[in-house]
Amino acid sequence: MNDLLAAVALLTIAPIRRELNFSARALLYFPLVGAVLAGVLVLAQSGARLLLPPFAAAALVTALWVLATGALHLDGASDAGDALLAETTRERRLEILRDVHLGAFGATILILLLLLKFAALADTTLTALFLAPILARWAMVYVAAFPLARSQGMAALFAKTLTRREIAGATLLTFLLVAPFGWLGAGAWLGAVIIATLLARLAMARLGGLTGDIYGLICESVEVSVLFVGLALAKA
């Protein structure tokens, strides 16, 4: 129970009123937390579409998505954007990651992610909306196996105790959640793997490894990619 609650506390704004021990075992439950979030978003999207025009409904669900996660991954994505896109040394990029100020690159990444998510939500399928939070949180478990850029921080806490058990367990749970959706689920998962791998490789090249902020960028990017896969397959 501790590990499940730890995953909930890390990934949402749900008030957990007990002391928790954080370890890599919490990663097992990341896809499950994603599924709960997905259910909330699907219900909100269904209700909003009945009452509001598409763009207004999309704006409302985008805001709920951000609020439910405490903008945690967006914060990481903006920091990662400032560090990865800056033309400087690896050491300076790692310093930028620690800087609390938002730079031009980070602001651009933040705006683009929100704009793309909003645009996709105006027309995407409920199935894609359900899959996006699940696959994004699985992607964070997947990239946790990559080397770290530094030995401190929450990412390091998980990576130090990470075993194949957590990765296999999260992957199996994700499969059970995604398999019922057939080709859409397979296509969305493939897109998630590609986006997560490309961003992880970019972080490896520019930072020498991954950090918690990179996890946030990967989570947000995978969510957007899954929404657009849903759009593309719906039009096919």
Inter-CA distances, 119 with 103, 116, 231, Å: 24, 5, 11
Query: What pLDDT is attached to residue 115?
Result: 97
Q: Which domain holds residue 162?
A: 2-235
Report pTM: 0.94
In one-letter notation, the amino acid at residue 214 is: I
Instruction: Name the domain count of the chain.
Output: 1
CB-based contacts of 35, cutoff 8 Å, min separation 6: 130, 133, 134, 177
**Distance in angstroms between the alpha carbons of the first and the last residue of the chain:** 43
| CA 14/CA 218 separation, integer angstroms | 22
Per residue of the chain (236 residues), give pLDDT as tens. Answer: 888 888 898 899 988 767 777 778 889 999 999 999 999 999 999 999 999 999 999 999 999 999 999 999 999 999 999 999 988 888 898 888 888 888 899 999 999 999 999 999 998 889 999 999 999 999 999 999 899 987 777 777 777 778 889 999 999 999 999 999 998 999 999 999 999 999 999 999 999 999 989 999 999 999 999 999 988 887 76
Query: What tokens were used for 119?
Result: 């645009």
Q: Give the model's pLDDT for residue 149.
A: 86
